[in-house]
Amino acid sequence: MGASYWWMLLGMAVVTYLPRMIPLTFLDGKELPPVVSGVLRNIPYAVLGALIFPAILHIQDGHILFGIIGAVTAFVLSFIGLDVMFVVIGTIAVLAIYSLF
């Protein structure tokens, strides 16, 4: 893997950066019709749902229960009002204890 690797990397960098940069830099928010702006404001919550499921169920191959325990723990910890960092650490701790037994 010589020069072709670096050309590939350059290509990957460009096609990753452009979708990040163009909308954030050139949209101002104010110009958009209310419906479009409403949809854009919905996106964070829709994307979080799509990012969590089904991926969390498959973090260990062929072991869905592992993912379910992780998901339930994280839901409970954040529902009782813990800060995000403690939700992350607490969920890791619960799964670490679970996989030891």
Partner 1 sequence: MNTTFSQGIKAGTSIAIGYFPVALTFGLLAKTTGLSITQATAMSLLVYAGASQYMALSLLATGVAPWLIVMNTFIVNIRHFLMTASLSEKVMPAPKWMKAIYAFGVTDETFSVLATQKEGKVTTAFAFGVALIAYSSWVVFTAVGHVIGANLPQFLQEAMSVALYAMFIGLLVPSMKGNRKVVWLAVMGAAIHCALYYSNLLSTGWSILVATLGSAIFVEFIYVKNKKTIDHWTVQKEAKN
99 near partner 1, judged by CB under 8 A: yes
CB 41 → partner 1: shortest distance, Å? 6
Where do we find the tokens 């050309």?
7
- 3-state DSSP of 77-92: HHHCCCCHHHHHHHHH
CB 65 → partner 1: shortest distance, Å? 13
Phi-psi label, residue 70: left if phi above 0, alpha if psi -120 to 50, beta otherwise: alpha
62 near partner 1, judged by CB under 8 A: no
Q: Which of residues 21-50 bind partner 1 (CB under 8 A)?
A: 21-29, 32, 34-35, 37-50
